[in-house]
Structures are given as C-alpha cells and as structure tokens.
Structure 1
Amino acid sequence: MGPGETIVALSSGQPPSGVAVIRLSGPATAEIVLAIAGKLPKPRHLTLLPIGTDTVLDRGLVAYFPAPHSFTGEDCAELQVHGSPAGVRAILRLVTGQGARLAEAGEFTRRAFENGKLDLVEVEGLGDLIEAETENQRRQALARFEGGLTQRIDSWRDQLLDLRAEIEARLDFSDEGDVAEALPASFGQQIIALRNDVAAGLASVEHGRIVREGIRVALAGVPNAGKSSLLNALAKSDIAIVTDEAGTTRDVREVPVDIGGQLFIFLDLAGLRDTDSKAEAEGVRRARHEIERADLVLWLQAPDVEDDIPPVTGMPMWLVATKTDLAVDTELHDLAVSVRSGHGLDQLTARLTEFARQLGGGGEPSLLSRERDRLALEAAVIALDDAGERLAEPELAAEALRLASQALERLLGRLDAERVLDRLFVSFCIGK
C-alpha cells in the first residue's frame, strides 16, 4: 500500500448485474482513462465512451474527478459498464496493465481519511450506512457519515480550546499586559457546563447502540413452550425446526427482524431443564448465558407443558402465554399469543415497537453508538471533572483539559496541538 500508487477496484456488487461500477484513484488516473477510453471527460460529467485499447471491451459512461474534489482527495475516475463477469475481468486486466493495481479492502476510504476528506467517525458512519438493514440504522449512519457527530465533537473541542487558551495564557504569558492574572469568575461554570454536555452525549451511547446493533430479545422457557414456533411467526419464515419432540433446539439461533424500522435480534434458545444429554446440557448453558445478555426476555408458558420458575435476570422480562388456541387462562401473563391462529401477534409487535421507542429514547437515533465513542467520552468527562476540581492548581487543571481534548481528538482521528496555539494568539493578541 503506497500513497503514490493508482488503485482500481469493482465498487458495485459482484456481477452478473445490469451495471458495474469500476473505480480508480491515484496520480495516474487521468493518464489511464485517456489510454483506455481515448479521451478525458470533462470533470464531473458522465461521458459515453468505448472502453479498450486495441479492441473495444465494452462501452460505458466514464466520469473523471480531479483532486482534491473527489471522494479520496486524489484524482479519481469511475467507469459505469455492463455487469458481465467476463467484461469486468477484462477491464480490470486492462487497467492494471496500464500501471494501476487492485485495491485492498477499504483502501479508497483509507485514502479519503488520510487526505482529510473524512474523519474516523465519518468513516464509521459510511461503514454503518453500507450495512444498514433498517430505516433507523440508515438515518443514524447517514447522519454520522455526513458529519453530524463531527460537528458536535468539534463544538466540544472548540470550547476546550477556549478554556485551555484562557488558562495556559496565564501560565506562559502572565507578564503580558493584556493577560489578567486571575481566571474569569465564570471559568469553573464553563467547565461544568461542558462536562454536563459531554456526559449527556455519553448517556446516549446506549440508545445509539440499540439502533446500530439491534435489540436482543431472548425467547426462553421450558422445552415445547413454543419458542421456535413464535420465532418463525415473527420472522414470517420457517427458519427454526418445530416438532413435538422436547429438546429439538440445541444451539442459539439469532434471527434479525425489522419491526417498525427497528432491528430486533430474536434468540431461539434451548428449553431450560435438567438433562443427561451432554449436547442438550450445553444448549441449556448457552441459553442461560444469552438470557443474561439480552435486552429483553420473553418467558413463554404453554398450557400443554409443565412450566418452571423463570430465571432471575437484571433485564426486563415479559411472561407470554402461548398456544392460546387451547383456551389457556392468560390473566397472569403480560401477553398472550397463538401462532396457529395469529391471535396476539399484532399486540406483541406493537408492544415491542413501544419498548424499542422507550429504550432508544425516542426522536432521532443517537449518533453515538460504538464502544470507542463510550470510551472517549468517559475519558473526557473524567478529565473535565478533574480540571474543575483543580482550578487552584492551574498547571494540573491545564493538563486535565489537555487530556479531555486528546480524548476527543482520538475519537476523530486527529491530534492537532497547534490549534491550541492558534486559538491562544487570536484570543489574546500576544506577540503583535
């Protein structure tokens, strides 16, 4: 991998397809396009051109994006050709024969980051956008990719730069006439306000995780309580094997289901019971482990099997009566369903939708959703708390503010200490 190399790759889905998009990036892009298409199109305009040198391999739309106004910040080009496997292979061989090399996984995005076109949180947003399965995930990922989170972090960084410039000016330039000895009376309150704002962002990370990773719902109960049948009904597919034989499910099956734009991960678990079967006992152990990890547990109880005491868990648990077509008494249950008749399934999905709304905090999905986000904001909050407590020791307070800035810089993938000096001189006109 080298910055001076020109790379090429198929950027659309694997052929065969109606259209295939082949992307180039690097210093030799214009030269290669001229060689294989006969002319260099007007920048950012699609031009229909033959693709080939001695013989025409295909005919397609060619676009050229000169640096720095491109996705990677380098000279880029895109060839929109027919999605024939043979045609795509032939064009890739042609382009690599002109001096380009096949790109590595994620290399176009890596170059965009290195050239300052994207920061790390925007890169993560792009990855999430590509993988988005639900409407909420799409909205969350697109907002992060388009810089929504970056703008919020930049606001925190700017406030920190002002605070650091204020305190460091008194440490380094106390002999200058335009620098007062004492910190402003509101300095401590500014730190507290910033700390509370960052802490509010930290509190939203769990809401964002719910959108990005989905809500894990464990379908638990004794054998033959109707777990696999309910899973099939929710997924609208015969995913799980359903028989009258107890202990059919031996492993944990995870099935993603989109309900109202929110991703739910339903876990079909082995029935909880004592057993002499080593395979089933392992399934029971895994089931108990997943129940502890779930965001919600549905404990299923059927009238035709003997129930057991639900396990104690710190997560919400709903008692769900199943097989209600057998006229079971449902007064002691939170919900009642019958997969055979469809009774209660709409109420269950409505209740799940409301649960997701409450768990996600309502409104727009949080842009903070990753473990890396949580660790960075935790470090920033701790550092701001430390700074607020050490105002009587300006050197230590300044160091704590520097650590808070560093945590946010790390989150964005930037470490730019020179900006502190720039802000300091602008604020206090030192050195004029």
Structure 2
Amino acid sequence: MSAQPHAVVVGSGPNGLSAAARLLLEGWDVDVYESAPTPGGAARSTASLFGGAIVDLGAAGHPFGVASPAFQKLKLEEHGLTWKNAPYEMAHPLDGKETAFLSGSIEKTAAGLGSDAKAWDWLHGHVVRDIDKHLDNLLGPMLSIPRHPVHMLRFGPPALVSAATLAKTLFKTEQARALLASSAVHAITSPSRPLTGAFGILFGALGQSRGWPVAKGGTQAIVDALVSVIYSNGGRIHTGVEISDLRELPAADAIILNLTPRQILQLHGTSLAPKTRKRLEKWKYGPAVYKVDFLLNAPVPWTDPRVGTAATVHVGGTVDEISFVESEVAAGRMPDRPFVMVCQQYAADPTRGLTLWSYAHVPHGYIERYPGEIRELITGQIERFAPGFRETVVDATSTSPCELEAWNANLVGGD
C-alpha cells in the first residue's frame, strides 16, 4: 500500500457509504461509484410524489440505524441527522382483542401484557439491559468468537427456535405472542421457521432500548449525513456511472462491492476464486415486498385510537395467521390477507405531511393478477382494524417488485 491507501467503493447504499466514510476517517483516500443519479440505494426520500409531502422510497423505520455501532462511530448527528420517536414504537392490532403495543421501555411494554409480564421480561430483559454488548456479538462475523460469550450463551438457546414456537411456549396472551412473532417477520420469512426467535427478540429489545425511530425529514437524511461525512473528509462520490468491469476503475488497494451476488457475478475483472463464484451462484433470493404509499386527508381512523400514535403498525392478526400467510408467500402463493407493514412517520415527525408508507409481503417477483390487486389487499387489511380508511385516501402510488428492482438493481425480484 502507498502512504495513503486508496479504496474504491462500488454502490452507494448505506453500507457502501458507511464503509467509505469509515475508511476516510482512518486516513484512506476513497472514491465511490454509483450508477443512479443520486447516492443512497434504497434509503432515499422524495417530496415530488405527492406534491410536497415527504415519502420514503425504500426503508422507513430504523431500529438498527439508531443503534448501529458503525453509525455511532461516524457521529451522523453532527452532520444533520435527527432521530424522531413516536409515543409507541410499534402497535399490533388484533381482531376482537386488546391491541398489543411495543413501548420504548421494557417496563411499559410488560405492563401492557398482563399475565405475560414476567415471561416477557425474562426473554427480553437481559438483552435490553445489555443491548450494546449483544449488538457487539450479533453484528459482527457470525463464525468468530463473540466478544461477550456469556451474553451470547444466554441469548443463543431461545434464538435458535422459531419465533412462533417461542411465543406459544412462553406466553399465554395473544398480545405477547403477536409482538414477538411479528417482530420476527422483519426477516421476511415465516415466524414458524427455525432461528426466527433471534429476530423477534432482537427487534423487540431494540424497540425497548433505542426505539424504532424515523429520520427527521425522511430517510434521505441518513444518506445526506453519510455523504456529508464523506465530503468533509475529502472523499469523492461519482454518480451516474455504471461499472461493468473492475479493470475500468483507477488503481486501488481495496475494492468494496456494495452489491448482491447477481450483480457481482455480472461484473468483469473480479478474478473471483472458483469456490467463491460457486457459492455466489447458489445464492437464492427471498420473498418480495409490494409497496404502496398513500396520501391522506386525515390520520388513519384506527378502531383503537392509540394505534395512531405508533410509528410502525404490524397488520397481520394472530401468530397462526402470520405463520400461514408467510409460508404461503415463501411457497410462491399470494394470500388474500397478506402481512402488511405500515409506517405512520407523521406520528413521530409531523413535518412529513399525512403520508402512509406500507408494503405487503408477496412471492418473489410477484406480478398482480389484476391491476390494483395489492393496493386493494393492503387497503382491506388496514380497513380490518381501521374502518373508514378508504375515505381518508386522497391518492396512492404502488411499486411492484419489478419496479423496485428497476429503481435499485440490488432489490432483486423485490427482495
């Protein structure tokens, strides 16, 4: 390496930008290349979709953002990023039963779970209280020796089983079961699958320690802060540049690819080892999301008004219902009542305007059986717990899995 090593980053999603920013802080010279007109990958926002109201085009809620050790080292808050939390981190309405709520503290969450309060604290309490040590263990290479082995030993056994099994074994109330299982569904897989307990526990613990915040002014603010770190430390970002051959890039001591296996295999000049290429060729992409953004003339009229004060709402019913529909999606079948993720960013950040961000889990690369199918299914699921929702909708925009991939090539088949 030269006195000042040089790195090239291909792809300017949050991971690529974070890598570039961290290398710059360590004294490297860095160039970032991005095929799109603007950096950010799936972490971009726009005010043009609904005439001024801010819409997150990809990611919306950020439990791992606010807790990220990488982001903390970059001090993004010094570059304009502000996290905003709603009164409730997440709500999960249920048919004919009390709504389940994830609060910003384990005490408040447990207090709403009645007879399951002690079991909830047993499962989540040690993770909440030592969240940074658990993140140290879980956000590093999985095959390495954990930095905090005692904490990993305690986290491990429940995390290995399915979230559905864990929920039914430990909890008596549908509320506690739903909170755990639906948190696990952020992995976009059925909570009946092994290892999903890890996702449910960790997402819940993050909500009860750091929260599930939104970025003030839109997810774009995260990217803007990362870009600010890069520019203020002498880095360069080249947009609108499609890289097809790594040999076209300037000489570098390191090349970092913020790409998925399919894009890497399409590159020339990678000199991949045969074993590495075979592993990448075996990579299988998972189920997709079908995104629908709504412009409203009033907040969503949830039957339980408290749901309107949650930044994230899980619309999917009971553990058994969620497990069934997610298994159907994984098998390539579109359920009539899909699991729907809803973000009410306006509950945390009123500057956004009354936009509702939502997506349904659908089979990989799903094509609608008729125009407007998924918008109607999402609307029906929200109406199930918020009668009159249709009357609040002024406008809506749907984005299919294929359109998501066309917007960002890393979102293969909408995954």
Q: Which bracket does the TM-score occupy, shorter chain normalised?
A: under 0.3
TM-score normalised to structure 1 length: 0.19
TM-score normalised to structure 2 length: 0.19
